[in-house]
Amino acid sequence: MLERLYNLFLHFREYVFLSGLVILSLVLLSLNDAPQVKQIRTIATVVLGVIQDRVSFFPAYLRLGTENSILRRTNIELADQANQLREARLENMRLRRLLELKGRGNYDFVAAKIVSKNLTLLRNTLTLDVGEADGVHTSMPVVHDAGLVGVVVAASRHYSVVNILLNTDFRASAKIQRSRVDGIVAWDGARLTLKNIAKTLDIQQGDVLLTSEYSSTYLPGIRIGLVSAISEKPGSLFKEVVIMPSVDFIKLEEVFVMTSVPDQERIDLEHQAEERFSR
């Protein structure tokens, strides 16, 4: 070990002597009180201070870049948390309104999330994440806090498909809330309309449309929409009534399936009557 240190000293002896002499000179200068030496110390101190001030910028710049990177990352994380809280708040508001709808009657409701939408066809549908295992079956109404969504037309164990109002196969008995005028709601591929409204009946733009008591599928009093336009065709006995749905199907995310069972006795009797009159 000592031999290695000795060899290292021999190899760098010039640098060692130079360093020692420099240190000795600095010590002697610091101990010397001559005016010339004091002036040299003052100049050296000023020069070293300026150099240190300039050089210190680079570590500060590097630290600033690191701090900016940390702040940007923190800002992104906080923005993500704020978005999650905002989504949770909106979801809570929607579910709260749905629960208020649930309290309207003595019916069981199954909360469901929409997992798929088809809104560009004549037969528009929704796919829900509930099925027969959750008590959901065909012919059950589907509602939202804004109003009627549609009816279940197919169900597997864990999923179900809903025909919405904007479906050419959809039909529902409805009535005007103000005047109690009855009609049939149907989608013609472009507009939601209220059919079988005679020209003499009292109906106005802005009237609220509800499901009526004459349906064996839909419970009465569920909001469907508003009358948005009324027109008359020459030679026709009926008005053309266009309905604006209360539910915004594009933004729709959660719904309730009303697990009410239709009155089978009533359905059988009506079918018997139809068969008798059709003979």
Per-residue pLDDT of the chain (279 residues; tens, 9 = 90+): 666 666 666 666 666 666 766 666 666 556 555 565 556 666 666 666 666 666 555 565 556 667 777 777 777 777 767 767 776 776 676 666 666 555 555 567 898 999 999 988 888 999 999 999 999 999 999 998 889 999 999 999 999 999 999 999 999 999 999 999 999 999 998 999 999 999 999 999 999 999 998 887 888 889 999 999 999 888 888 999 999 999 999 999 889 998 876 666 766 776 677 677 666
Please choose, from the candidates 146, 107, 149, the residue with its C-alpha nearest in 3D space to the C-alpha of residue 128: 149
Strand partners, 116: 127
CB 135, CB 160: distance < 8 Å? no
Domain architecture of the chain: domains with CATH: 2-55 (no CATH), 109-261 (2.40.10.340)
**Do residues 23 and 30 lie in contact, with contact meaning Cβ atoms separated by under 8 Å?**
no
Asked if 166 and 139 count as a contact pair (C-beta separation under 8 A), the reply is no
Task: Please tell me whether residue 96 adopts helix, strand or coil conformation.
Answer: helix
CA dist 10 and 2 (Å) reads 12
**255 near 149, Cβ under 8 Å?**
yes
d(CA 51, CA 199): 96
pTM score of the predicted model: 0.63
- Contact present, 246 and 147 (Cβ < 8 Å): yes
First to last CA, the chain: 120
Q: Which has the closest alpha carbon to 118: 167, 152, 151?
A: 167
**242 close to 191: Cβ distance less than 8 angstroms:** yes
Residue 249 phi/psi, 5-degree rounding, is: -70, -25
